[in-house]
Amino acid sequence: MWDRFLRACRREPVDATPVWFMRQAGRYMAEYRAIREKHTLLQICRQPEIACEVTLQPVRALGVDAAILFADILLPLEPMGSPFEFAAGEGPVFDHPVRTAADVAALRVIDPEESLGHVLAAIRMIRRELDGKTPLIGFAGAPFTLASYLVEGGKSAHYAKTKQMMYGEPELWNALMTKLAEVVRRYLRAQVTAGAQAVQLFDSWIGALSPTDYREFILPHVSHILQDVAQTGVPVIHFGTGTATLLELQKEAGGTVIGVDWRTPLGGARRLLGTEVAVQGNLDPLLLFAPRPLLERRVVEVLEAAGPAPGHIFNLGHGILPETSPDSVRFVADVVHERSRR
């Protein structure tokens, strides 16, 4: 069933639970590593033919129900005026962290058609290649998660400088978040126009915040994005990690599907979220390292926790780690389909 994923997003009945994997294209696959030997991550993102090829690799290899654009959540930040590099083993490192009013003022609210045309070209190319057989998901990082990289200058343990700006200079914080939210809104809109059949908003690090702070400092900005993107009619997956106490606020901000990590049992998430949204998740990515009997048991437990009602997309609770065996990923996709077959 080619549209199993899209139907589940809309909480329509499906023949089997759809499955895809965050970071399903990536270093755990030999085909990807072969390409990475010749190109950096950012070079792959910037060349539509290569991004297209990498996007399709897991669709061919895994039997997943959706393709996800190969890109990086940080891509919009360079044209906004904050270039960065991926330092070996350290993640992204920004040349100049965004800390002052002048830094925020200097950020450009870009036009994605102009500044991120290569991503949109990749989407058009992938759609042609997929030829209607598998739907394509686009994505973007959410404002808090993007701001955390910009303000810290890279990844972070405590988000100390980010929260210091948020708490200490709320006007500056709101100016930064407003710019990021508008860029993300335009970027997701442009991805849909280019052909993305669903989009995922990655607020990967939002779980660092309390519900009170989420409501005060984050929700209006996420809402600005998601209420607008909803009007395109494509399903929107609103994802974060460590979000057990944020789910209702995330739903309020927007999304057709709420993506949760393994810390939040899906049964409880569905009771909390009600029947107006679907849920996505939520196997611990480290379970892909477990022996098959335990792995299968945990996959089935996720299916059982999600229950028989329509509106569950199987996924991990976060991205596949580079050391993962592709066989285990394929095994999970098969178990999901077999054990959920209606």
Task: Locate 88 and state its tokens.
Answer: 């070996």
Quote the least distance from Cβ 289 to a copy of itself, whole Å: 5
Quote the least distance from Cβ 323 to a copy of itself, whole Å: 7
Quote the least distance from Cβ 329 to a copy of itself, whole Å: 15
Catalytic site residue 263?
no
Q: How many CA atoms lie within 13 A of 315 on its CB side?
A: 32
* Cβ proximity to a copy of itself, 16 vs 244, nearer residue: 244
Catalytic site residue 95?
no
Q: What is the DSSP letter of 115?
A: H
- 4, 11, 23, 186: the active-site residue: 23
> What counts of helices (H) and strands (E) characterise the chain?
17, 9
Quote the least distance from Cβ 298 to a copy of itself, whole Å: 7
Burial of 131 (0-12, 13-18, 19+ CB in 10 A): exposed
- 36, 124, 263, 298: the active-site residue: 36
Quote the least distance from Cβ 284 to a copy of itself, whole Å: 6
| Cα distance between residue 274 and residue 120, in whole Å | 34
Catalytic site residue 261?
no
Strand partners, 312: 279
| Cα distance between residue 266 and residue 280, in whole Å | 9
At 312, give phi and psi (nearest 5°). -125, 125
* Cβ proximity to a copy of itself, 67 vs 279, nearer residue: 279
Length, in residues, of the chain = 342
Distances (CA, A) of 48 to 113, 117, 138, 297: 14, 9, 14, 39
Catalytic site residue 33?
no
Quote the least distance from Cβ 159 to a copy of itself, whole Å: 7
| Cα distance between residue 195 and residue 190, in whole Å | 9
| Cα distance between residue 243 and residue 185, in whole Å | 22
* Cβ proximity to a copy of itself, 95 vs 301, nearer residue: 301
Helix 48-62 crosses helix 326-340 at what angle (to 10 degrees)?
A: 60
Quote the least distance from Cβ 292 to a copy of itself, whole Å: 11
| Cα distance between residue 311 and residue 308, in whole Å | 9
* Cβ proximity to a copy of itself, 242 vs 311, nearer residue: 242
Catalytic site residue 330?
no
Report cis status (omega within 30 of 0) of the bond before 174: no
Alpha-carbon dihedral 335, 337, 338, 342, rounded to 10 degrees = 150
- 28, 32, 149, 159: the active-site residue: 149
* Cβ proximity to a copy of itself, 129 vs 284, nearer residue: 284
* Cβ proximity to a copy of itself, 176 vs 194, nearer residue: 176
Helix (H) or strand (E) holding 239: strand 236-240
* Cβ proximity to a copy of itself, 57 vs 324, nearer residue: 324
Footprint of a copy of itself (CB under 8 A): 158-160, 163-164, 167-168, 207, 209-213, 242, 244-246, 262-265, 268, 284-287, 289-291, 294, 298, 301, 321, 323
Write out the catalytic residue numbers. Answer: 23, 27, 36, 72, 149
